[in-house]
């Protein structure tokens, strides 16, 4: 069940990490790196290590600190490792879909009698979403593969394990060329680490160095800081990086396209202390707030944020507008997954489980409430009501992203279009629904200006419907059916469905 303070938010992608460090405790380093990437996924966590020509993997449902303990980490011995934290976008939320996913003759499921012919063992951790999963899955089933999960990551792993290419490098490259969609992957195979991004670079991935001869790969640079590694560079779109005892090798496994990094990495997903495309995300988010203030001036007494993801933009808004920033909402960071069945009283508490107003700072004040995005609008309306109930005389909502009107097919679990409030209502109608005195979103031009980069460096399809990778019509229909099915299966009210709580 979900405890839904952030039901109005897009749900994060996943976080991946890999490390080659023969002289270090790679499982422990992976543990700390995954801990720093926890904001990217909180459903499951896993680490696979390579030792003595065999891959050993441990994974389970839950946060990194709950999945791993000293006993487990001591058993994961090797000279290289890959790790993963997951939020499900393709595949249901259960233990079998946790990553890394193993394929090949040494895994338990392949001890079964089946027609598949495996040539190598591989462990894959994946962030993103393939748009041709169904086709690839059918082709593998025809070759005798018995799938154990509903995840597209298993499709990638099976392709690599079954590839008739003579080397692991060729097998990985050939498999990635068959995959269409957004992906950043790290994999262990034949004593090497492989790391790659899709040809548009929609999902992030970067390379770091940890002392002489030791290398790491991560979704974000914040994973390097915690283990003492130095950021070297971002892995390029269409690039395959191979790391082994001889060092780092780079090849283009496919022709790179224009850079199209997901713009929501800049707005919300990534940690503010990470850097992407040469930009510190905290600075970009402050810029978003400053531009938002210039575009939507308002007379008010205080600026507050919806913590924590809205805070940098709120600070930027306050500095640019001259309206003082204060703490208006205090976040309870210890509310996560709950298995207590909700009663009506709990449903009504909803937002209060996550946020509590600081009445002294808002009573009798005209309040500007800055948030990074509004997806469905249900939680935002509850926060506005909460502020009014605690004495705010006016509530002006400001959003540091444009209206989200279109679903994502590249690894972000957004609602179907019918559930996206900006796809159904005008800004004025959304303002009325929220119960706000005014509502303004940043413009698309303002958003790109805040990044100091050209709009063509990003995928912004959730705002523009301009998908860099064509989306099969069938996938549109499947997403609509899947979302409608979820609504029927999960009758817990949205105010208590847990989303990914931000760290």
Residues with active-site annotation:
14
Specify the 3-state DSSP secondary structure of 503.
coil
- Tokens 């949205």 map to which residue? 494
Specify the 3-state DSSP secondary structure of 500.
coil
Q: Helical H runs in 63-210?
A: 64-67, 70-75, 133-142, 152-162, 168-178
Tokens of 409: 């097919």
DSSP code per residue over 457-479: GEE-HHHH---SSPPPHHHHHHH
Cβ pair 327, 303 in contact under 8 A = no
Quick one: CA dihedral 306, 309, 312, 317, positive or negative?
A: negative
Angle between helices 133-142 and 152-162 (to 10 degrees): 40
Tokens of 457: 């460096």
Cβ pair 378, 384 in contact under 8 A = no
Of 198, 178, 196, residue with least CA distance to 255? 198
DSSP code per residue over 401-413: S----S---SS-B
| Cα(440)–Cα(431) distance, integer angstroms | 9
Cβ pair 81, 19 in contact under 8 A = yes
Residue 233 pairs in a beta bridge with 207
Q: Parallel, antiparallel, or unpaired for β 239-244 and 247-252?
A: antiparallel
Specify the 3-state DSSP secondary structure of 448.
helix
Region label for 280, one of left (φ > 0), alpha (ψ between -120 and 50) or beta (otherwise): beta
Q: Parallel, antiparallel, or unpaired for β 261-262 and 458-459?
A: parallel
- Tokens 């980069």 map to which residue? 453
| Cα(162)–Cα(420) distance, integer angstroms | 40
Specify the 3-state DSSP secondary structure of 233.
strand
Residue 55 pairs in a beta bridge with 50
């Amino acid at each position: 069940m979900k405890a839904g303070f952030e039901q109005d938010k897009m749900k994060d992608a996943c976080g991946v990490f890999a490390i080659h460090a023969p002289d270090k405790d790679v499982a422990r380093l992976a543990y700390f790196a995954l801990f720093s990437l926890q904001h990217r996924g909180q459903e499951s966590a896993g680490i696979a290590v390579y030792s003595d020509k065999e891959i050993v993997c441990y994974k389970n449902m839950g946060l990194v600190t709950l999945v791993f303990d000293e006993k487990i980490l001591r058993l994961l011995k090797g000279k290289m490792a890959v790790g993963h934290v997951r939020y499900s976008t393709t595949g249901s939320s259960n233990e079998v879909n946790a990553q890394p996913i193993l394929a090949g003759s040494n895994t338990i499921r392949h001890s079964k009698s089946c027609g598949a012919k495996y040539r190598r063992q591989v462990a894959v951790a994946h962030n993103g979403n393939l748009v041709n999963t169904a086709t690839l899955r059918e082709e593998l089933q025809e070759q005798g593969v018995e799938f154990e999960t509903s995840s597209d990551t298993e499709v990638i792993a099976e392709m690599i394990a079954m590839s008739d290419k003579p080397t692991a490098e060729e097998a990985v490259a050939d498999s990635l060329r068959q995959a269409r969609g957004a992906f950043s992957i790290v994999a262990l195979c034949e004593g090497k680490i492989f790391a790659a991004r899709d040809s548009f670079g929609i999902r992030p991935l970067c390379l770091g160095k940890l002392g002489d001869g030791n290398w790491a790969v991560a979704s974000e640079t914040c994973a390097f800081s915690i283990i003492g590694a130095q950021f070297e560079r971002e892995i390029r779109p269409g690039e395959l990086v191979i790391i082994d005892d001889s060092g780092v090798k780079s090849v283009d496994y496919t022709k790179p396209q224009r850079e199209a990094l997901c713009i929501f990495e800049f707005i919300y997903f990534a940690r503010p202390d990470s850097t992407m495309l040469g930009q510190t995300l905290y600075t970009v988010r402050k810029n978003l707030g400053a531009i938002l203030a210039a575009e939507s001036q308002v007379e008010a007494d205080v600026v507050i944020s919806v913590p924590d993801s809205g805070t940098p933009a709120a600070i930027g808004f306050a500095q640019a507008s001259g309206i003082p920033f204060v703490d208006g909402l205090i976040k309870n960071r210890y509310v996560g997954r709950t298995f207590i069945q909700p009663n009506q009283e709990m449903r009504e508490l909803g937002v209060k489980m996550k946020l509590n107003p600081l009445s002294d700072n808002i009573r009798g004040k005209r309040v500007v409430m800055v948030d990074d995005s509004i997806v469905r609008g249900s939680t935002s309306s509850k926060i506005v009501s909460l502020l009014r109930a605690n004495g705010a005389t006016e509530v002006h909502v400001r959003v540091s992203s444009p209206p989200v009107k279109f679903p994502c097919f590249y690894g972000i679990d957004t609602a179907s279009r019918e559930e996206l409030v900006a796809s159904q209502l005008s800004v004025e109608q959304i303002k009325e629904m929220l119960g706000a005195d005014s509502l303004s979103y940043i413009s698309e031009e303002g958003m790109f200006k805040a990044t100091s980069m050209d709009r063509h460096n990003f995928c912004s399809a959730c705002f523009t419907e301009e998908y860099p990778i064509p989306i099969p019509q069938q996938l549109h229909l499947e997403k609509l059916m899947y979302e409608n099915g979820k609504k029927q299966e999960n009758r817990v009210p949205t105010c208590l469905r847990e989303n990914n709580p931000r760290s």
